[in-house]
Amino acid sequence: MNDDFSVYQRRSHSWLDQGKTLRVRLAARAAALLMLGGVIMTGLVNGGYLDYDGSPWMLLPGKAASVVGMAAQEITITGLEHHEPETLLSAIGVEPGGSLMGFDAVQARNILQNLDWVETAKVQRLFPNQLVVEVKEREPFAIWQRGTAYYVIDRSGAAMSGLEASQMVRLPLVTGEGANVAAAELINQLAAYPDIMLQVKASARVGSRRWTLYLDNGITVQLPERDWQQAIAMADQLNKTQKILARGIRSMDLRLQGRVTVEVAEIAATDMKAGDKKTVAGTN
């Protein structure tokens, strides 16, 4: 009886040892297959073989995140006026339905506030799958021509990318070096004289010191370096009393204090040559 029990014990231990050995072998083979699969997948991803439009592999992170409630299922964006939501989401690396694993709201806010068209930004991650973004865009103020390039600028003179100047034709046009940072003061001053401002087609910054106004009827108005605000007021007064901007002149020179010099475009007298200049008003 004892001998039979001993034989049974030996056989039991043998079966247990064989079972353990089999499990170890299976686990080792599974680990090797997983490692090989990981190496192959890494090579495919790093090689760009799976990175194409419509690739189902590119959707796996979002699907995996949705299983654990970490996908961007609800995205709320407020404050956009001139830009599309896709532009904003692309900047912070988020796609609707995509993964929010590892998303850093503070870093996303900093990224947005570094965009030249964003004045302020606020980003909130509401667990598990909500994202709230609030932005305040810089307000387009004028078009700045620099050489052959055109930029939409805000009141401070900062250029804003992503906005086409051709789509902002109603904004004032300023040209020349430094015109962007000096534009606000000029435009604000012109706003007090709507009769003149409505005729201004462009304003050129000359030598980073003064302005020349180009009117839509072809007349140029040269403003002085100093006291140019008073010069605009004088031009407005002359236009109201003498209709000087509608009297066939080529230019109005206000660079000398208290004096207005005009260049005649249409000659009324036979003894005057085209291009003659005369002082029509002013005090010394």
8 Å CB contact between 190 and 159: no
Given a cut of 60, whether residue 276 has pLDDT beyond it is: no
Distance CA 268, CA 274 (A): 10
Q: What is the mean pLDDT of the chain?
A: 78
The three-state secondary structure class of 47 is coil
Helix pair 105-113, 85-92: axis angle to 10 deg: 120
Given a cut of 60, whether residue 119 has pLDDT beyond it is: yes
pLDDT tens digits, 241-269: 988 888 788 999 999 987 888 888 755 44
Structure tokens belonging to residue 214: 């180009």
Distance CA 190, CA 181 (A): 16
Q: Which residue has the tokens 């009324």?
A: 268
pLDDT at 14: 56
pLDDT at 40: 58
Alpha-helix residue ranges (DSSP H) falling in the chain: 2-46, 60-67, 85-92, 105-113, 179-190, 194-197, 228-242
8 Å CB contact between 126 and 132: yes
Structure tokens belonging to residue 224: 């002085």
pLDDT tens digits, 227-239: 999 999 999 999 9
